[in-house]
Chains A and B, each alone.
Chain A
Amino acid sequence: MSSWCLCTPKKWAVLALFNFFSLQAAAQESADVGSIVVEGDSPSEGLMIQEDTPKARSSVTRAAIEQKSSLNNSFQMINLLPGVNSYSFDATGLFGGGVRVRGFNSDQLGITIDGVPVNDAGNFAVYPQEFADPENLQEIFITQGSSDTDAPHVGASGGDIGLVTSNPLDKSRALAQKTAGSNNASKIFVRADTGYMGTTGLKSFISYSEASADKWKGAGGADRKHLDFKSVLELSPGSSITIGLLWNRAFSNNLRTLTLPQIYTLGRNADWGTVAPQHLTSVGGAAVNEVAPANGYYNLNLNPFDDRIATIKGNFQITPTLRLDVEPYYWYGYGTGGNELRTLKEKNAAGATTLGGGISDINNNGNTLDTVMVYSGALTETNRPGITFRLSSQLDNQKLMFGYWFEQSHHRKTQPAVRFTNGGISVDPWLQNPANYILRADGTPYQGRDFLTISKGQSLFVQDDIGLLNDRLNLSLGLRHAGVSRDFTNYPSEGGVNYYNIKADYFKTLPSLGARYQLNNEQQFFCNIAENFKAPPDSVYYGLFNGPTLLPVNVGAETSTNWDLGYRYAGRDLSLSGSLFYVDFRNRIASAYDPVNVIFTNFNVGNSTTRGVELESAWRFERQWSIYGSLTYTDSRMKQNLMTGANTFEATVGKQFPDVPQWMAGVALQYRDGPWSANLSAKYTGRRYSTLVNDESVGGFTLFSFDAGFHLPTSGVFIDPMLRFNVYNLFNSNYLYLNAGSGVGFTTRALGAGGVAPSYYVGAPRSFSLMLSGGF
């Protein structure tokens, strides 16, 4: 293999001469320089790595992940990284959370676990509490602003987040962990590793955990069962087959979000009602008119969800310069969420639905005149097989990769209803037994909605990485043709009585170009331009019947062009990474006036730009002490007004996107000495607007957390026992998180006529957790 030296003509002649002598040289003895260990590490205890990729990218590795509470979800782990505005609904993370990067919400980011996409197939939402026990998490990486060329996403206008789980250990080991914390938080985790089994090259692990916690305000709690299994068969150096299984079953009561007026009147700790709504009995055959209580009921506000992911990875190093990856996967999800306490009208009540003859006697009181409270939630069932093929070839100084990703998702959304008892307990919280469903007169079950979306996602991609100037200059050219074909069917339901079917394709060719110049061993400059896109969510096909006519869908994909210009310094004890970024975000989808169809609907409302700076730095200033810091400045502005009618609009020009703070800063002071470890971290999140017209905002706040760990000496039956202590919100700060997604999730205006008060998650107060673990 010849090197690629950029030589002057004089040097070319010398080179030719030397080539003649190189045969002689080969025959001579070689001088042995010895062995050098290359470890992926940097002076930050896992919060930063020595990054070389020619685009903005940050990661946290196991060293930092294992410092946090074992209850936490993955969005909490990346909280300190630049560009990241993540939050959790409570200290444990069991109830969920969200993340925003460069202003893009999680449903605009492409999230994978071991390469498998986990965004909802329909609306791209992500629920971080559903994957990965942190005990099995090896790394979380994030590419701010740009999606990777070979990433299987069709809904990522703002970049990617990737979770990587750890491999089975080489040696056999069993591990048990017990965690206890505030609000009755508890987790038991067990893992067994087989180690290499004989000479087969096969190693596996299986782990199981049960976690639970009470809500920090209100009644109810969360329960989560999780199973991970991974098996690796090493065929030869560089070739292996890996099988992975993930199962997560969660059942939780939702935390209540509050508007600012509600916080003033009801207080920060207000939550759902705790008195079970009572069913009314009919007097003399008269109609019964039940009304759901204003404060709802905590036990009819549930989030049961079951996820299962199976993956097989076939990685084959065919020759030392040719590699083939075949990675099929299967994703299954089932569950419901939100507020399930609703009322239904029986067929002869005023204003009742008539589909299927109307709804028959719900409360079995002999008449069909009643309005009855029921448990009815939006139920989703998704089956999602997919496969990625990738062929990589190293030719001299160029690495060529091309591949293909294909996925078909069968995404069924219904909304049946079941009864609940006077004790406030639903007869079927999972809505899984059709025998429990409330029926119409014709025997078919009531459905508040009834959709089927079959989506075929595809991406054909090619990437060329070229090393020039003795590998001082690296160019990364990527091209992918990605998109999704939607086949949406609305079956007649109480939410839309007309059957209709819509097919739509959204495909885009997305180029990217990255360049990295290594000035010397420590310093590098990089720049990156990448195009991303996000297909419209399937909710743009809901409710398209306007009277007797089916409206056409006039929504296109969101697209964005992301520019990074950055600098990195990687010294022995000091690492620094900074980038200037500019995002040109076009065709943002929002709920607005569509002048073509003369209706208020999902529509591409225009462009916005986001610009800013992301900095992160890690410095080991003493043998046992290091400090990590990140600073982010984000300025995101909308460029058009939002049309709300033929001649009316909301003044959004020049306004900032909601929930995008201008300033964020993170700091972690870390101490490591022998068996002791301690971290004191703080994250400052600046003031954020809550509406598109910026007429409401919530103040900035700083959250401190403290983690400490101690390795106990091996004693008796336990190997390497460990104690870990975590404090969340050390100084008991009061803070709020905006409850908003993206696009149609934003509140347009809070004040004035037609304004709607935006709702917030109230930040959890100080809480503790203590964990004891041991191997054997």
Chain B
Amino acid sequence: MSGLLFRFRWLLSVGAAPLALLLLLILPAPSFIHSATNTAVIELRLSAVEEPNSGRQITEPHIARIPAAGKKLSRQPSPPREQGLASKPVASINAPVARPTVAQSTATQASPDAHESAVNAAAAHAAQLTPPAAMPPDFESNAEAAYIAKVRAYLQDSKRYPTGREASLQRPAGTARLWFVLSRSGELIDCGVQRSSGSMLLDNSALSTVRRSTYLPFPGEAWKGRAQQRFVVELNFVPAH
């Protein structure tokens, strides 16, 4: 019997993979537990601009990450580093500078809780801010702007430059413009490529980023009356130096 098993060990192992896959389908998908409203005062700068990375000469656009709750900020906000790309500024880009004040500030990775509470607090502050003149017309409330900032944060967290033999040999670069539809409950309904980056690898990686991210339900006052909302995002891929 063991001889037979040994003889077909390759087949067994390959067969095990679809079995494991089937199990994964049956079991409920993991879901992130979000806390209820958190009224802790955490001031967070919702900006697309990252503090300079160790001060070395930067000749290419750098990753613009939304700083986690713990990042110390060393500079005033400046226009997004991704020059020449999406010209529509998002409300969140122009939010004022703020310093994190809670004990969680030493964490380098923001948990979804910190994100959400930070963003909720910022949304509360945002109501008192004067939006800059270049505000696009399709934002009607600051709740929407805050939600968009969250979406942006989730995309930032799940973005990946493609890897593999093809990606290494081609080293694709380009910007993919994607659309995606989220339901009121925060579910991804559909997504697609609005404008291709010119590279299948990058388009696929961009779609993958959108699919893999998890999204929160819309806050009550955002997009009132709509069961779902369409978003667009541009992902600009830059190969590693």
Contacts and interface: CB of A to CB of B under 8 A. Distances in A.
A675 to B, nearest CB: 8
B183 interface: yes
Contacts of A511: 14
Nearest to B152: A33
A36 B236 contact: yes
B161 A37 contact: no
B234 A35 contact: yes
B56 A674 contact: yes
A467 B208 contact: yes
Given A6-B25, A18-B228, A471 B57 contact: no
B82 A473 contact: no
A35 B85 contact: yes
B232 A30 contact: yes
Given A30-B232, A31-B229, A114 B169 contact: yes
Interface stretch (B34-42, B88-96, B98-106): B88-96
B191 interface: yes
A18 B85 contact: no
A4 B235 CA distance: 20
Interface stretch (A54-62, A181-189, A547-555): A54-62
Contact of A35 (B82, B183, B187): B82
Contact of B211 (A151, A315, A471): A471
Interface stretch (A44-52, A121-129, A374-382, A600-608): A44-52
Given A162-B168, A320-B193, A399-B204, A49 B29 contact: no
Contacts of A515: 17, 21
Interface string B1-38: 00000000010011001000100110001100000000
Contacts of B138: 29-32
Contact of A399 (B172, B181, B200): B200
A2 B240 contact: no
Contacts of A571: 108-109
23 contacts: A1-B192, A3-B190, A3-B211, A28-B226, A31-B229, A32-B138, A34-B89, A34-B90, A34-B233, A35-B235, A36-B152, A36-B155, A37-B64, A39-B161, A46-B240, A50-B160, A139-B168, A143-B165, A238-B200, A320-B193, A394-B204, A517-B24, A672-B56
B241 A62 contact: yes
A392 B14 CA distance: 25
Nearest to A112: B169
Contact of B165 (A151, A394, A518, A711): A151
Contact of B231 (A31, A115, A711): A31
Nearest to B202: A38
Question: Interface majority SS on A: helix, strand, loop or mixed?
Answer: mixed
A364 to B, nearest CB: 56
Contacts of A711: 57
A237 B176 CA distance: 11
A33 B165 contact: no
Interface in A8-28: 11, 14-15, 18-19, 21-22, 25-26, 28
B78 interface: no
Interface string A510-550: 01010101110110000101000000000000000000000
Contacts of A53: 163-164
B159 interface: yes
A340 interface: no
Contacts of A30: 138, 179, 230-232
A469 B29 contact: yes
Interface in A539-576: 561, 563, 571-573
Interface centre among A1, A2, A19, A164 (most CB of B within 10 A): A1
B163 A57 contact: yes
A61 B227 contact: no
Contacts of A32: 86, 88, 90, 136, 138, 148, 231-233
B207 interface: yes
Contacts of A151: 165
B212 A471 contact: yes
Given A21-B227, A30-B138, A572-B109, 11 more contacts: A25-B226, A31-B231, A33-B155, A35-B48, A37-B238, A39-B238, A50-B161, A115-B169, A238-B199, A517-B24, A561-B10
A649 B64 CA distance: 65
A59 B236 CA distance: 22
Contact of A469 (B24, B169, B203, B209): B24
